[in-house]
Structure 1
Amino acid sequence: MSKVSVIEPSKGWKVIDFAELWRYKDLLYFLTVRGIKARYAQSILGIGWAIIQPLFTTLVFTVVFGGLAKVDSDGMPYILFSYLALWPWNYFSGTLSDSANSLVANAGMITKVYFPRLILPLAAIFSKLLDFTISFIVLLGLLIYFQVMPGWNLIFLPLMLVQLLMASLGIGMLLSAMAVQYRDVKYALTFVVQLLLYLAPVVYSTTAVPEEWQFVYSLNPMVGVIEGIRAMFLNRPMPWEWVWPGAVVGVILFVFGLFYFRRMEKVFADVA
């Protein structure tokens, strides 16, 4: 008599089954590598785009905002000022686009075989880490060129990266679950990401925001990440008043995105 395995949804408050994710670690690795290869397949420059894209964007921002608009860069060269923001921002915006489309793009897998659906947005997030690392190497080159020495508060960099990952994964899970039912998410996301760019201190400093609005502004998780990274690499005091509100919101987004993803997981195969 053949053995029949019945797969049932998890019960109670167990929203992440780490043991199950570990069993499917090979699939996570395969999808992550596939995402990297697909991005640079049949590309002449290949992984060089991870350097060209953020560097070219930084140069454009430097000419337009630093040169023509004379945007204040807190006394630092504008190219370094803007690149320190684009480094985490490009990762954040890229993961939103990839994770939002992760379930729809893999609908064939979802409808044919069981695996933890959380692996799909996780793979989208992890596949962007290569670009993030390469962009960091460019950042090191800029720091050496401008002879800027990071301060001791660089020890808080892992904290900033955790906040960046939680915000990216939280919103990514939320958007990927929504995109299965509402295909408008895919088309609206391009506009939303462009709008969010100017709602974060990428081309300007948070000090340019009126003081009475700075707390509300700091609720954006990327505000604390960007200003925290700038402070660490430019050897300035950590702006905790801008970091902690966004950190709290990042945790809330992560928890809410996870619960929403798990709640909608049971209908993914039906509507994908």
Structure 2
Amino acid sequence: MNYKYLKRISLFSIAAIPLVCGAILTSSVNADDTNTSDTANTNAFISFTGKNSPVNPVNPDNPSQPVNPNNPTGHTGDLAFDYIPANLNFGNHDKNANTQTYSLVDPFASGYKASDDAQDPVGTSMGQSTVLKGAQKDYVFVQLHDMMNPDSGWNVNASFDGYTNSGKTLNGATINLKDGNAQKLSADGQSWSPMTGVSNNIQLGSDNAPQNVLSADKSKSAGITQIYWDPSNISTTIPVGSSSVAGKDQEGFRGKITWNVNATPNSGE
């Protein structure tokens, strides 16, 4: 046998193996290098519903502390009142031939007695004033929320339909709201920041004419807003001779304040 020939063949064959493997490996690396970018997708989801549950009244002193004032409105929607004072009681007084202004009866004021309230029939309060006792002061407040399109602001106004009782009217009577303030709740619900623009010396006549209370443009309208008064700055004025329509016995007169909030599209531009 020609071992020399076989040796040459074997050496040739063994030497050729690395060349073939090298060619395969080189081909594989070159194929990966051509894939220099890639794209893939992930789905993301979110949904929204309208404001279908009421917003609770917030403590005007310290929003981090709970508060449970009587008779929240329970109103829902993107723009709505959360709370308004249910009653303003201006007390029981003797008839007077002159124009008189009477302060709101604050049930938390020193020396308050139930008999101070307006009564009808005798001995029965027509409804205690809706006042919230704060840590530093007492409040009569209105609260609203705005979850609308950010291109809208809003306006709050109020009107008064006058005092009546069984066809008798206290002609020309007014309700007076003096030196009101406004504040906006922070996004985290932990603090208040003051707002400007509350109308001063609001006088609600007996003719149901709406009077502006507060306007907010789109830059400051979103979220929860409160408008509040010190009870001592709320009063009613009865013109000369009006109380003479009351009978000789105690007689109570009722009226209604209507609060309205309306969107003002594209405000603040």
Q: TM-score range with shorter-chain normalisation? A: under 0.3
Q: Tell me the TM-score normalised to structure 2 length.
A: 0.23
Higher relative contact order (CA 8 A, sep 6+): 1
Q: Tell me the TM-score normalised to structure 1 length.
A: 0.23
The structure whose residues are more often helix, as a share, is 1
The structure whose residues are more often strand, as a share, is 2
Structure number with bigger Rg: 2
